[in-house]
């Protein structure tokens, strides 16, 4: 099977929830394939967003580009509905002045239908996420 970036709106993926929304920097910017656009939080933490693949996927590698994110928790679900999330990955990120954070995660047991990203703390009052790519394969459609 063909490996693709599963986190692209052009692949049918959607952000179905985000706890912050500035209409100039909406959460869709995370999966639009454009590294210049971003989603920003608008104050206080934790903040989260949920990505829906609309199919069963198996993720092998995640790359998250962000700014000022300190602690990131990723949960996943294999349900048809966005529920039954289980803890999957937790990372403490490093802040490098003048550079985006580029966090690469090799994934074990990457079967998912939804991913939930929770930013539990940040290096500033606000944090932003530019892109998330999930390399892997589409396993099957939701029936």
Partner 1 sequence: MAVRLFLCSVRTGDPAVGKTALAQIFRSDGAHFQKNYTLTTGVDLVVKTLPVPDTGDSVELFIFDSAGKELFSEMLDKLWESPNVLCLVYDVTNEQSFLNCSKWLEKARSQVPGTSLPAGVLVGNKTDLVSRRVVEAAQAQEWALGQGLECFETSVKEMENYEAPFQCLARQFHQLYREKLEVFHALA
End-to-end, the C-alpha distance of the chain in Å comes to: 20
Integer Cα distance of 15 and 49 in angstroms: 7
Q: Interface with partner 1 includes 123 (CB under 8 A)?
A: yes
For residue 116, the minimal CB distance to partner 1 (Å) is 20
Only one residue has tokens 């971003």, namely 38
Q: Interface with partner 1 includes 130 (CB under 8 A)?
A: yes
- Give the interface size with partner 1 as a residue count (CB under 8 A): 25
For partner 1, give the closer residue by CB, 36 or 109.
Answer: 36
Integer Cα distance of 20 and 27 in angstroms: 8
For partner 1, give the closer residue by CB, 22 or 81.
Answer: 22
Integer Cα distance of 128 and 59 in angstroms: 23
Q: Interface with partner 1 includes 37 (CB under 8 A)?
A: yes
Interacting residue with partner 1 among 1, 2, 36, 141 (CB under 8 A) = 36
Integer Cα distance of 12 and 54 in angstroms: 7
For partner 1, give the closer residue by CB, 53 or 68.
Answer: 68
């Amino acid at each position: 099977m063909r490996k693709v970036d599963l986190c692209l709106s052009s692949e049918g993926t959607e952000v179905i929830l985000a706890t912050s929304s500035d209409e100039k920097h909406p959460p869709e910017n995370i999966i639009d394939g454009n590294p210049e656009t971003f989603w920003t939080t608008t104050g206080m933490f934790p903040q989260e967003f949920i990505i829906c693949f609309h199919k069963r996927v198996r993720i092998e590698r995640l790359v998250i580009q962000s700014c000022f994110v300190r602690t990131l928790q990723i949960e996943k679900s294999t349900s048809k509905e966005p529920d039954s999330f289980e803890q999957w990955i937790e990372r403490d990120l490093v802040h490098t002045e003048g550079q985006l954070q580029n966090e690469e995660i090799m994934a074990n047991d990457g079967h998912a239908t939804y991913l939930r990203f929770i930013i539990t703390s940040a290096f500033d009052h606000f944090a932003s996420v530019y892109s998330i790519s999930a390399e892997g394969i589409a396993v099957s459609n939701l029936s």
